[in-house]
Chain A
């Protein structure tokens, strides 16, 4: 079953603007992660936020988590052409012997020069 759902499905902005992507999920989580995927490549881990954290920063990335609303947002400030990619949120689900990540379908971000 799909856990994380990203919104919007696609986003196109001008270089230098800020990009905000949202993620909603259904069940309780231990942590939520954001990944980036460049076209035709594997996913790259961007940031992890734990369920007891509300906000986290990494460079131009800012992630917020609202467990009461079961939602998260990823903000990319001062966007660059190189930020063009698909962005996925992933929530963890404990499994036997491992934590399993369940991914949303992603937001396709296009940064126009």
Chain B
């Protein structure tokens, strides 16, 4: 069974801390994505990566960075956490081109609270 695993389900961090959110997939997928989900705003793409060491900005990259040193792992970094980064963070992966009936595979999400 294919899986995307996010390291933490719940996380509480203080303002100004550097925060690492980890995501690992075991499907040999080329593409990996980080979204945040907020009430009334839906899912918004932060960053994505289509290959090792490659990264591209999504719609809301400000305040975030990413790292993809290995194909299976995609990390989201909050350089200096702020309260407006309190959110549900969702990692996803996919093949380069979706096969006939496959889309993205999502992790279970990390609910981050910045206090």
Q: Are B42 and A99 in touch, CB under 8 angstroms?
A: no
Since A43-B106, A90-B103 are in contact, a sample of 11 more A-B pairs with Cβ atoms closer than 8 Å, ordered by chain A residue number, is A33-B104, A42-B6, A42-B92, A42-B106, A43-B43, A45-B105, A48-B100, A96-B56, A98-B56, A103-B42, A105-B41
Contacts of A10 in B (CB 8 A): none
A91, chain B: closest CB distance, angstroms:
11
Choose from A42, A45, A100 the contact partner of B103 (Cβ within 8 Å): A45
Contacts of A104 in B (CB 8 A): 42
By beta carbon, the residue of chain A nearest B110 is A42
Say which size band chain B's interface belongs to: 35 or more
Interfacial residues, chain A to chain B (CB-CB below 8 A):
2, 31, 33, 35, 40-45, 47-48, 58, 88, 90, 92, 95-106
Q: Are A95 and B56 in touch, CB under 8 angstroms?
A: yes
A-B contact count (CB 8 A): 80
Q: Are A40 and B40 in touch, CB under 8 angstroms?
A: no
Contacts of B104 in A (CB 8 A): 33, 35, 43, 45, 90, 101
Interfacial residues, chain B to chain A (CB-CB below 8 A):
4, 6, 30-31, 33, 35, 40-43, 45, 48, 50-51, 54, 56, 58, 88, 90, 92, 94, 96-98, 100-109, 111
In the bound complex, CA of A25 to CA of B115 (Å):
37
Q: Are A101 and B103 in touch, CB under 8 angstroms?
A: yes
